[in-house]
Amino acid sequence: MHPNPTFHTASNAENAAFARDRAFGVLAVASGGAPMVSHVPFVLAEDGKTADLHLVRSNPIARALTTPLAARLAVSGPDSYVSPDWYGLQDQVPTWNYVAVHLTGTLELRPQDELPELLERQSAFFEERLAPKPVWRMDKVDPGALDKLMRMIVPCRVTITQIDGTWKLAQNKPDAARISAAGQVESYGIGGDIGALGALMRGA
């Protein structure tokens, strides 16, 4: 996380809401050697205390889960390069604005019989956003094919002990400079979801 406290004013509830809505992140664990990482969708509980996900059984992280492991889910939001010319101020330097939330805790395997409910919950979370398309359900898959697929993945849970968020939106600049940069980000930004980032910068 960025060390400047100016970018850490979001509450735990706001950070959790952002992570819950994004529902995709980088899972990182350390088990000897270099950290192991995997890009995963997840479902964050309403109270922000647990994140449920699944891993392919052959994933190195899944293989390492003979006992629970310390873990972190890094959830990224909109981001962009920001040119110093966009502030309308002297003596500025290039930077990158972004939103990121870290969910830190302990990762463990869950009983295999929890997998069907987890997958239904995950797919429903995303499918409901596609309305008016009818919601896809697992019963559309041939039972034999579904059973084979289910044996290839394992359910996991992160029990969350800490939530941190960085909302780096030029809050350390004068309002006029921040809003000027927001407009330039929306028009010329280099990154992901620059429209959303510009809107967040305007409201910072």
pLDDT mean for each 10 residues of the chain (204 residues): 94 97 96 90 97 97 95 97 96 97 98 95 94 92 91 97 98 96 95 94 92
Residue 192 Cα distances to 69, 129, 157, angstroms? 31, 20, 28
What are the helix (H) ranges across the chain?
A: 12-22, 60-64, 115-127, 143-150, 175-188, 194-203
- CA nearest to 57, candidates 143, 148, 147, 155: 155
The pLDDT of residue 192 is 87
- CA nearest to 65, candidates 20, 109, 105: 109
CA 159 to CA 140: how far, in whole Å? 32
The pLDDT of residue 34 is 86
* Pairing state between β 36-41 and 24-29: antiparallel
The answer to whether 54 and 114 are in contact (CB under 8 A) is no
Q: Rounded to 5, what percent of the chain is helix, strand, coil?
A: 40, 35, 30
In single-letter form, the type of residue at position 202 comes to R
Map out the domains of the chain as residue ranges.
5-112+154-203
In single-letter form, the type of residue at position 88 comes to G
Neighbours of 188 (CB within 10 A): 12
Cis peptide before 132 (omega within 30 of 0): yes
- Per CATH, domain 5-112+154-203 is 3.90.76.10: no
Neighbours of 182 (CB within 10 A): 25
In single-letter form, the type of residue at position 179 comes to I
Give the rounded distance of the alpha carbon of 28 from its chain centre.
Answer: 12
The answer to whether 80 and 190 are in contact (CB under 8 A) is yes
CA 68 to CA 19: how far, in whole Å? 22
